Structure 1
Amino acid sequence: MTVSLIISTYNWPEALELVLLSVAKQSVLPDQIVIADDGSDQRTAALIAGFRRDLPIEHVWHEDNGFQKTLILNKALKVCKTDYIIEIDGDIILHKHFIKDHIASAERGFFVQGSRAMIGEQLSEKTLRDKKMSFSCLTNGMTTRFNAIRFPLFSGIFKTNPYSSHNVKGCNLAFWLDDYVRINGYFNGFTGWGWEDYEFAERLINSGIKKKRLKWAAIGYHIFHPLSSRSNFKPNEMIYRETVDNKMWHRTPGFHEVVGI
């Protein structure tokens, strides 16, 4: 099985640097790393260029036209050449066994929802300043300690409703590339933040792919930041509700409608 790590980012190279440093320290490296860049300025490109000497990174960028995460993710997936996709946000620092744990949990017929340990505001500021990334459930300043526990032998005791798209987050998500392609990827009709992950997961489930919950393994540590604008929250929720009510598994425009990559 070959694996791509997809990292979405927008104009926060200080956080992306920590993410890429954590990728470089993985016990098992991904076969491909794709940065899905939603219109960042030249600072991000310069940072990525520095990491390309040691990591197999591809940088997929489009012009800044507001929050277009689903579109840039579909563009990034166009260049993927692997069987399996692990998706994170550009503010998720990885435990050194993150990729290894995700590979161990991969199973045909499932997508995997991982969890995130939240780094508090003060610890986040210190981490961004000092670039020291040694975290555990006992670290002072970790606000969700339960999610910072790594105990993969017992990760299977946590069960979830395999047919529920509730609480799916793209900050720590894994799926098979052919499942993604079959449902036409993310829906490009979303404007602004909110509901795009739920809607994508709902279509995977409607297509016959079940959800698996991963706890105490594949740990991602989330760097604190202010909340994104919720101005399009309600219109985006209506798109999600339409997918749920009509049991949709395919929407356009999406992956197949992306051109020019």
Structure 2
Amino acid sequence: MKYDASIIISTYNQPDWLYKVLLGYAQQTHQNFEIIVADDGSKMDTYQIVQNFKKQTSYAIKHIWQEDEGFQKNRILNKAIRASKSPYLIFTDGDCIPRKDFVEKHLTLRKPKAFLSGGYFKLPKMISEKISKEDISNQYCFDKFWLIKQGLKKNFKLNKLTSRGLKENLLNQWTPTKATWDGMNASGWKKDILAVNGFDERMKYGGEDRELGERLMNLGIKPIQARYSLICVHLHHERGYKNTVDFDRNKQIRKETKSKKKTWTDYGINQS
């Protein structure tokens, strides 16, 4: 079967969150896509979540798994890219529930020689845990009034959930946030990603996804700001894998990518 998009979802030992995310994809207005769960060494309960979801839906779902050797997200993403069957790839995380128009918007806004930079709306732990299957199917978790009723404080970021049409386009243009490749919500053409050799597998947590976007830009692939168009809610979680050593090393790799205008990494999909 020919798919319009491959949805690559990275995950690590968050089966309850992954289940909610998969439920979000079951609500999509555009349904011609495959799902690839890029699993960086989770335990068996994540595998069971994927298998159970396969039985509940007609979507094509692949579970790509690797041994747990610490934070190796870029490595599993490269494996998922190789396994993908679509010319257009949408990347997200297993703790980001997509709004029902998520896939449709990615496909509508895509352009040749460009990648899309989306955003997210972060939820506190209490609301993240409270979201049910019904809240996702009814799209309550994207409704500002429902969220406020659950205890969410009002702030400007709620515009991400309420903007449509002209307001949405204006906020995309006016936001001071630069368009970057952020792994929780970004998309691009597979041929462009292969042209820069995918993700750099030397990199741990901390800007490891943005470095791919920087090589794409060096190649002439334009980033498009769409953080008010491509909507997902980010469920709360701790980041126990975050550390200064890895972050500083990543900064050095990114600095070299920028200063030398590198378009290729020798540590990506093709390491021959």
TM (norm. structure 2) is 0.87
Q: Deviation digits for residues 217-253 of structure 1, max 9, x if unmatched?
A: 2211000112341231111111111101110010111
Tell me the amino acid that sits aligned with residue 49 of structure 2.
Answer: L
2:119 corresponds, among 115, 124, 137, to: 115
The answer as to whether partners of 1:86 and 1:172 remain within 8 angstroms in 2 is yes
SS at match of 2:51: helix
Structure with the higher helix share, 1 or 2: 2
**Count of aligned residue pairs for this structure pair:** 254
1:234 corresponds, among 234, 248, 261, to: 248
1:106 corresponds, among 105, 110, 118, to: 110
1:132 aligns with 2:139: no
Structure 1 segments of 4+ aligned residues over 6 angstroms from their partners: none
Q: How does 1:1-261 map to 2 (within 5 A)?
A: 2-53=4-55, 54=57, 55-127=59-131, 132-133=135-136, 134=140, 135-138=142-145, 139-140=147-148, 141-142=151-152, 144-157=157-170, 158-159=172-173, 167-190=180-203, 192-228=204-240, 229-231=242-244, 232-257=246-271
SS at match of 1:257: coil
Q: Once the two structures are aligned, what percentage of the paired residues are identical?
A: 32
CA RMSD of aligned residues (A): 2.1
Shift of 1:201: 0.5
Shift of 1:127: 1.8
Q: CA–CA distance in 1 between the matches of 2:129 and 2:35?
A: 26
Shift of 1:111: 0.2
SS at match of 1:159: helix
Q: CA–CA distance in 2 between the matches of 1:33 and 1:217?
A: 21
Tell me the amino acid that sits aligned with residue 226 of structure 1.
Answer: E
TM (norm. structure 1) is 0.91
CA 1:243 to 1:72, structure 2 compared with 1: closer, same or farther past 3 Å?
Answer: same
SS at match of 1:7: strand
Q: CA–CA distance in 2 between the matches of 1:131 and 1:120?
A: 19
CA 1:9 to 1:99, structure 2 compared with 1: closer, same or farther past 3 Å?
Answer: same
Consecutive unaligned residues of structure 2, counting only runs of 5 or more, are: none
CA 1:179 to 1:49, structure 2 compared with 1: closer, same or farther past 3 Å?
Answer: same
Shift of 1:156: 2.9
The answer as to whether partners of 2:200 and 2:265 remain within 8 angstroms in 1 is yes
